[in-house]
Amino acid sequence: SQTIHQWPATLVQPVGSPLSLECTVEGTSNPNLYWYRQAAGRGLQLLFYSVGIGQISSEVPQNLSASRPQDRQFILSSKKLLLSDSGFYLCAWSRGQQSSEQYFGPGTRLTVT
């Protein structure tokens, strides 16, 4: 069966510090991968998605970047965090077909102080 991992589970970082969140998927190959953010009291915002190694599409301009160095690894980064980067970050994967559901990881709670 497939499993998706995210770490860390929680993170408190000062403004201006770098960020690296990691997501890995087990039990499947060539998944489509997604990063979402949930700000407090708001819905899901798609940040990035990837259909293959090294292929990253950005959905909104922002202070963040994403990379996919391996087939089942997706990394979300920032060089300098802003207060507005606080939120709940979710990674998800799908089989990439139009009828495919997405499977979500447990999330990372990021607080920028």
Partner 1 sequence: AQSVTQLGSHVSVSEGALVLLRCNYSSSVPPYLFWYVQYPNQGLQLLLKYTSAATLVKGINGFEAEFKKSETSFHLTKPSAHMSDAAEYFCAVSDRLGNTGKLIFGQGTTLQVKP
* Closest separation in Å from C-beta 7 to partner 1: 13
Q: How far apart are CA 72 and CA 85, in angstroms?
A: 25
Instruction: Provide, rounded to whole angstroms, the least separation between the CB of residue 16 and partner 1.
Output: 26
Contacting positions for partner 1 (CB under 8 A): 32, 34, 42-44, 46, 49, 51, 57, 88, 90, 92, 94-107, 109
Amino acid in position 108: T
In the chain, how long is the greatest CA-to-CA distance? 41
**Cα dihedral 75, 80, 85, 86 in deg (nearest 10):** 90
Comparing CB distances to partner 1, the nearer of 73 and 88 is 88
- Residue given tokens 């202070």 in the structure block: 63
Q: Which is nearer to partner 1, 8 or 16 (CB)?
A: 8
Q: Smallest distance from the beta carbon of 62 to partner 1, in angstroms?
A: 17
